[in-house]
């Protein structure tokens, strides 16, 4: 959360900063600002609101051109959204933007107040700015001052810093929050996300943990604490500007829903060799997987919901016990980890703070760790023993869709591979399964798009609701949990998901006349049980939407509305159902007039605990 971008070079930095911040707005959008070096001074402009508000303010004030600037779009942690709390934060010496949290800021602030420092904001970031300022005044050297300051700061941070007396230079350092260095024909760049750099360059380097970068118009270098220099290891990205744009869709979320068939296939097909799952290209040997006697899946939010699907698939096909843990709880639950434990960390960004901490805990206790990650070179990808990269491409909408889809795709392949190694499925059964994944799932998602007009009519029946329930059994319950999250995070309707058989143990007391219930049944094995639970709801007045596989028999009076999924292979219905629920959430949010790509209080990448 929070997006930062910087540029120094031969071109005007201001439009570059604004364009980069606009791309990064999904990382935080309650306030925005920039700081620029101008004639030996640092000029700062910032405001509450979004990047368009900053653009208007720049035009109103006729902000001059400059060749060096840094910018920030904020998701508030310390101090509410306001002009004062917006970044950059300035002292008499420097300006700073920050992504992360300084955990010991109260103690440091008290010390600085005793020295006579006057604070103007409520933020921990301003404290960091003054800590660095005090060190710089004492040491007269920016590298030494920053490294000395880091020894005093506890927490996570990605800083970009302008010093008043160092024109044309940007200093950047990270710990726990991502930063990317880049170089282009017109200068050097720094950003918290590659998408902000795509309009300007395709040459980048992930700044490693604890490293400090010094960027000028002529060079981008990493400087060690002793002053020695380290050249960045440059890479080329295959992301495109078009991938980070709407391409005619009204919202990024709808575009990304429609990108799911291709993303699923790109994640699965390269890992099927001779008809069987093969992870050798990911550095995961069969021997390592055979060691797994138990599996922990650790993640947050939608990634954790993908893990619930993974648990079902692995236990159902490979018969290996799986525990799914919320990353923020994992370390505090005294997990039973040993050398026979496979620990799978799932994170779209690869920078999720809780998941990264859980990964490190697992490694310390002897687990073999595997990341399911979308961002190449991210922190979790680098630190895990092995990484399965998903190939979703940039995901801009805050509410994930294709990111979740490819995580489930990865789990499908892992489950198939483990079942082959364990002998719980025959080689022919695994070949058939892999063939069905490549053939049927993309087709099922594509054909679900043909239900969009039907889904729009369903949304008209739901959008005025303030409470809603999802129910399902087995993997359909796992799907309902994610469907419920999609609805609540973009439409703000209070929604909960329950295992259908659990209703009668308390929750059914909330079912009254007209209560919307979305019931999911993609499993023929559990279909009749689910129908019985639906009857329990409808008999109490619930307004039931029933999402079921295509040729399911429909008992009379079981639901008010039935949405039949495309007729595809046996393993594709689950992602067809998920696509339908994504579209339901989307259309309900459209009817409620919500900001779909940037829901209130949310940001894309949670890099603080």
| pLDDT surpassing 90 at residue 114 | yes
154 and 205 together in one domain: yes
For residue 51, being part of any structural domain is answered with yes
306 and 352 together in one domain: yes
d(CA 495, CA 493): 6
417 and 299 together in one domain: yes
Structure tokens at 157: 């941070």
539 and 408 together in one domain: no
CB atoms within 10 A of CB 319: 13
**Band of the pLDDT at 72, cuts 50, 70, 90?**
very high
For residue 189, being part of any structural domain is answered with yes
| pLDDT surpassing 70 at residue 331 | yes
- Answer whether 27's CB lies under 8 Å from 73's CB: yes
d(CA 326, CA 334): 13
For residue 597, being part of any structural domain is answered with no
Please compute the mean of the pLDDT values over residues 165-174 and round it to a whole number.
Answer: 95
427 and 491 together in one domain: no
185 and 37 together in one domain: yes
Model pLDDT, residue 598: 87
Domain boundary among 244, 272, 304: 244
For residue 596, being part of any structural domain is answered with no
Residue 2 annotated among the catalytic residues of the structure: yes
Model pLDDT, residue 243: 66
Model pLDDT, residue 349: 86
- For the stretch 225-243, pLDDT in tens is 988 999 899 988 877 766 6
Q: Is the peptide bond before 401 cis (omega within 30 degrees of 0)?
A: no
Model pLDDT, residue 257: 97
529 and 502 together in one domain: yes
Q: Please enumerate, as own/partner, the contacts of 280-285 that have beta carbons within 8 Å and a separation of 24 or more.
A: 282/386, 282/387, 282/388, 282/389, 283/386, 283/387, 284/370, 284/386, 284/388
- For the stretch 238-264, pLDDT in tens is 777 666 677 788 999 999 999 999 999
229 and 279 together in one domain: no
238 and 256 together in one domain: no
For residue 59, being part of any structural domain is answered with yes
**Residues 6 or more apart whose Cβ sits within 8 Å of residue 539:** none
Domain boundary among 444, 479, 503: 444
For residue 100, being part of any structural domain is answered with yes
For residue 599, being part of any structural domain is answered with no
- For the stretch 53-71, pLDDT in tens is 999 999 998 999 999 999 9
Structure tokens at 75: 């998701």
Domain count, the chain: 3
Model pLDDT, residue 351: 85
440 and 460 together in one domain: no
Give residue for tokens 């300022």. Answer: 133
| pLDDT surpassing 90 at residue 429 | yes
* Residue ranges in 12-166 assigned as alpha helix (H): 13-23, 51-60, 105-114, 124-139, 142-150
pLDDT averaged over every residue in the chain: 91
388 and 482 together in one domain: no
Domain boundary among 409, 427, 444: 444
Give residue for tokens 């434990």. Answer: 341
Q: What is the CATH number of the domain that holds 276?
A: 3.40.50.10490
| H/E stretch holding 406 | helix 402-422
34 and 88 together in one domain: yes
Indicate which residue of 48, 311, 402, 604 is catalytic.
604
- For the stretch 515-564, pLDDT in tens is 999 999 998 889 899 999 999 998 888 999 999 988 888 777 789 999 99
State whether the Cα torsion 427-431-432-436 is positive or negative. positive
- For the stretch 13-63, pLDDT in tens is 999 999 998 888 766 678 899 999 988 899 999 988 888 899 999 999 899
| Domain limits for position 275 | 252-444
Nearest to 182 by CA among 239, 117, 253: 239
Indicate which residue of 2, 405, 537, 594 is catalytic.
2
Model pLDDT, residue 389: 92
For residue 40, being part of any structural domain is answered with yes
State whether the Cα torsion 27-31-36-42 is positive or negative. negative
**Residues 6 or more apart whose Cβ sits within 8 Å of residue 461:** 516, 543, 545, 561
d(CA 295, CA 273): 25
What residues pair up with 345 in beta bridges, in sequence order? 298, 371
d(CA 256, CA 260): 7
Comparing 309 with 28, the larger pLDDT belongs to: 309
CB atoms within 10 A of CB 281: 11
């Amino acid at each position: 959360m929070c997006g930062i971008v910087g540029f120094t070079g031969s071109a005007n930095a201001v439009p570059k900063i604004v364009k980069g911040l606009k791309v990064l707005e999904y990382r935080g959008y309650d306030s925005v600002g920039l700081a620029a070096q101008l004639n030996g001074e640092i000029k700062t402009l910032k405001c509450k609101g979004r990047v368009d508000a900053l653009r208007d303010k720049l035009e109103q004030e006729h902000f001059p051109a400059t060749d060096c600037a840094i910018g920030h779009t904020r998701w508030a942690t310390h101090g509410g959204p306001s002009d004062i709390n917006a970044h950059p934060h300035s002292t008499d010496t420097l300006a700073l933007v920050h992504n992360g949290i300084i955990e010991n800021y109260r103690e440091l602030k008290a010390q600085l107040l005793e020295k006579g420092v006057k604070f103007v904001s409520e933020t921990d970031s301003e404290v960091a700015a003054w800590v660095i300022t005090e060190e710089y005044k004492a040491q007269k050297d920016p590298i030494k001052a920053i490294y000395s300051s880091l020894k005093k700061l506890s927490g996570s941070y990605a800083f970009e810093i302008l010093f008043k007396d160092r024109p044309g230079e940007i200093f950047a350092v990270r710990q726990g929050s991502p930063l990317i260095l880049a170089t282009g024909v017109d200068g050097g760049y720094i950003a918290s996300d590659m998408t902000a750099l795509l309009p300007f360059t395709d040459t980048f380097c992930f700044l490693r943990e604890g490293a400090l970068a010094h960027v000028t118009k002529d060079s981008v270098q990493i400087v060690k604490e002793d002053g020695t220099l380290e050249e960045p290891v440059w890479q080329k990205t295959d992301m495109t500007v078009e991938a980070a744009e709407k391409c005619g869709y009204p919202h990024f979320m709808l575009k990304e829903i429609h990108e799911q068939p291709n993303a699923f296939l790109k994640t699965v097909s390269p890992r099927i060799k001779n008809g069987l799952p093969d992870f050798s290209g990911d550095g995961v040997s069969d021997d390592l997987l055979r060691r797994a006697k138990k599996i922990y899946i650790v993640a947050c939010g939608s990634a954790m919901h993908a893990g619930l699907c993974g648990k079902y698939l692995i236990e159902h096909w490979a018969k290996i016990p799986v525990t799914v843990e919320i990353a923020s709880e994992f370390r505090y639950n005294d997990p039973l980890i040993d050398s026979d434990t496979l620990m799978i960390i799932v994170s779209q960004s690869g920078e999720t703070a809780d998941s990264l901490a859980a990964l490190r805990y697992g490694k310390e206790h002897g687990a073999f760790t595997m990341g399911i990650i979308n961002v190449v070179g991210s922190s979790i990808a680098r630190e895990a023993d092995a990484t399965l990269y998903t190939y979703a491409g940039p995901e801009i909408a805050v509410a994930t869709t294709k990111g979740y889809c490819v995580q489930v795709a990865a789990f499908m392949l892992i489950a198939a591979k483990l079942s082959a190694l364990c002998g719980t499925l025959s080689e022919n059964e695994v070949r058939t399964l892999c063939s069905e994944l490549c053939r049927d799932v993309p087709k099922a998602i594509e054909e679900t798009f043909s239900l969009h007009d039907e889904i729009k009519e369903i949304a008209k029946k739901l959008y005025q609701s303030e409470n809603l329930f999802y129910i399902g059994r087995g993997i359909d319950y796992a799907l309902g949990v994610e469907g419920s999250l999609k609805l609540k995070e973009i439409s703000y309707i209070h929604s909960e998901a329950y295992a259908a058989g659990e209703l009668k143990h308390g929750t059914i007391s909330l079912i009254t006349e007209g209560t919307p219930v979305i019931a999911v049944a993609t499993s023929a094995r559990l279909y009749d049980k689910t129908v019985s639970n639906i009857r329990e709801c409808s008999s109490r007045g619930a307004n039931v939407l029933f999402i079921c596989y295509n040729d399911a028999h429909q008992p009379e009076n079981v639901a008010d509305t039935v949405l039949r999924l495309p007729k595809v292979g046996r393993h594709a219905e689950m992602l067809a159902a998920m696509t339908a629920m994504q579209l339901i959430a989307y259309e309900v949010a459209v009817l409620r007039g919500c900001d779909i790509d940037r829901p209130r209080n949310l940001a894309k990448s949670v890099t603080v605990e």
